Amino acid sequence: MVWRKDAAFREAYERAHVVLLDGLPLLWLASLEGIKGLTRVAGSDLVERICSADFPATSLFVLGMGPVENLEAQEAIRDRTGHHVDGVSPPFGATLDVEWTERVTEMIGESGATIVFVCLGAPKSELWVAHNMHLLPPAYYLCVGGALEMYSGQVRRAPVALRQVGLEWLYRLCQEPRRLWRRYLLRDMPFVLILVQTFLARLVKSLRAR
């Protein structure tokens, strides 16, 4: 829904080397649109597989979250995988200005990181990476939202049964209602209308073809 309204966000997506389909409802919409061959790749699953992979001489860098959460994520990765991890959390309310970006860029470069988990939230993560890509050290910059909070056990992931029916968002809302109610109940709810409209259009088209 942010992508539909924010031109800069759309441009950031267009400049990305890889765009993954995270939400199951998006997979439903793609299917209704007749787009085939897509697979859901949840951010939590992506982080899990990357952290557990045997990457020789790989350093990971965690960018974002609060200071405590960032450290917990680093410790969880180190404890579970043995990978070398560095990280930094922006000051509360930071605007991610030029001075902050220069300092973070230097830290990433000094760490030797080849994979950077960007956890600044959407659309801030995508916009920051797209805007500063020409300054950032060579690495894979992955905008993974709250996936590291789940990986490190700070937030519980929804049971498999709820994930399979597209209700992972509801589980998250129940865990953090004060933080997420605007996102899910105001910002994202029009998506339901898009899904229904697309379904009805597909149904009408099918009936006319008979």
pLDDT digits (tens, 9 = 90+) for 116-150: 999 998 899 999 999 999 999 999 999 998 999 99
Reported as a pLDDT band with limits 50, 70 and 90, residue 93 is low
Return the closest-CA partner of residue 117 out of 56, 172, 51, 21.
51
Mean pLDDT (whole number) for 188-206: 92
pLDDT digits (tens, 9 = 90+) for 4-50: 999 999 999 999 999 999 889 999 999 999 998 999 999 999 999 99
Higher pLDDT, 93 or 176: 176
Kindly tell me the burial class for residue 82, based on how many C-beta atoms sit within 10 Å of its own C-beta (0-12, 13-18, 19 or more): exposed
φ, ψ of residue 166 in degrees (nearest 5) = 75, 25
pLDDT bucket at 209, cuts 50 / 70 / 90: confident
| pLDDT for res 190 | 93
Q: Could you report the per-residue pLDDT of 66-77, keeping only the tens digit for each?
A: 999 999 999 999
pLDDT > 90: percent of the chain: 71
- Under the banding of pLDDT at 50, 70 and 90, the label for residue 95 is low
Residue 90 has pLDDT above 90, yes or no: no
Is the whole model's pTM more than 0.85, yes or no?
A: yes
- The 84-88 sheet, strands edge to edge: 84-88, 59-64, 115-119, 140-143
What are the domain boundaries of the chain?
2-209
Place of tokens 């209704």: 32
pLDDT band for position 207 (cuts 50, 70, 90): confident
Instruction: Write down the pLDDT at residue 52.
Output: 87
Distance CA 151, CA 149 (A): 6
